Amino acid sequence: MIPLGVYDFRGLKLSNSGGQVQQQSTEQAQAVDKANQVLDADTDSGVVINQTVSVAGQDFYQYFVTVWRDKQGSEKYTLAVRERPSARWGSEVWIEFAQRTVYRSHLPPARAAIKPISEQAADMTYEAVVQAEMLRRLITDADIGRDEF
C-alpha cells in the first residue's frame, strides 16, 4: 500500500512543511540512474547492417565485421553492407556510412579470395569513416545540417 502524500515524478515524497523533498527510496533513485546510464550507452553504439544476399556476400560480411569490431572506436558508427549479385561479373559490394558510399568493390567468384578483400575493406572503411567524422566536427555552418558535410 502506498502511503498518502504528494509525490513528484521521480517518486520522491514532497513534505507538507516548507516544500522540502524527502527521499522515499534511495534504491529506487539508484535504479533509475543506472537505467538511464544503460540507455545512454545503448544509443551511442553503432551497428553493421547486413544487406547481402549471396554466399560470397555473406562471407564478405562475416570477415568484414570480424575485422571491423577489432578497430578502436568502431562501435560508435553505423554502417550498411550492401550487395548487388551478378552471375556474369561477380557480386558488387559497397559499404555506406551516413548515407554515403565509403567503399565499393567487386567480389571474385573464388570464395578463398574474399577474406583479404574484406580485411582491406575494413581498413579503408575505418579510415574513411574517421575522416568523415573529423570533417563533420570541423565544419560548422548554419546552412548545412549535421549529415550534409
**Mean pLDDT for the stretch of residues 96-117:** 92
Q: State residue 12's pLDDT score.
A: 57
At a CB cut-off of 8 Å and minimum separation 6, what does 147 contact? 98, 99, 136
Confidence of residue 14 (pLDDT cuts 50, 70, 90): low
CA distance 98 to 4: 52
Confidence of residue 6 (pLDDT cuts 50, 70, 90): low
pTM (2 d.p.): 0.66
For residue 96, give its domain range. Answer: 48-138
Residue 40 lies in a domain: yes
Q: What is the mean pLDDT of the chain?
A: 79
Confidence of residue 133 (pLDDT cuts 50, 70, 90): confident
Q: Which residue has the higher pLDDT, 136 or 142?
A: 136
Which tens digits make up the pLDDT trace of 33-84? 666 565 555 445 789 999 999 999 999 999 999 999 999 988 899 999 999 9
19 and 70 co-located in one domain? no
23 and 89 co-located in one domain? no
Residue 116 lies in a domain: yes
Q: State residue 37's pLDDT score.
A: 63
Residue 149 lies in a domain: no
Residue 25 lies in a domain: yes
Confidence of residue 17 (pLDDT cuts 50, 70, 90): very low
Q: State residue 109's pLDDT score.
A: 85
**Mean pLDDT for the stretch of residues 18-25:** 46
Number of domains composing the chain = 2
Strands 48-51 and 79-84 turn out to be: parallel
72 and 127 co-located in one domain? yes
Distances (CA, A) of 16 to 4, 6, 7, 12, 22: 12, 8, 11, 13, 10
Does the pLDDT of residue 22 top 50, yes or no?
no
Owner of C-alpha cell 515524497: 13
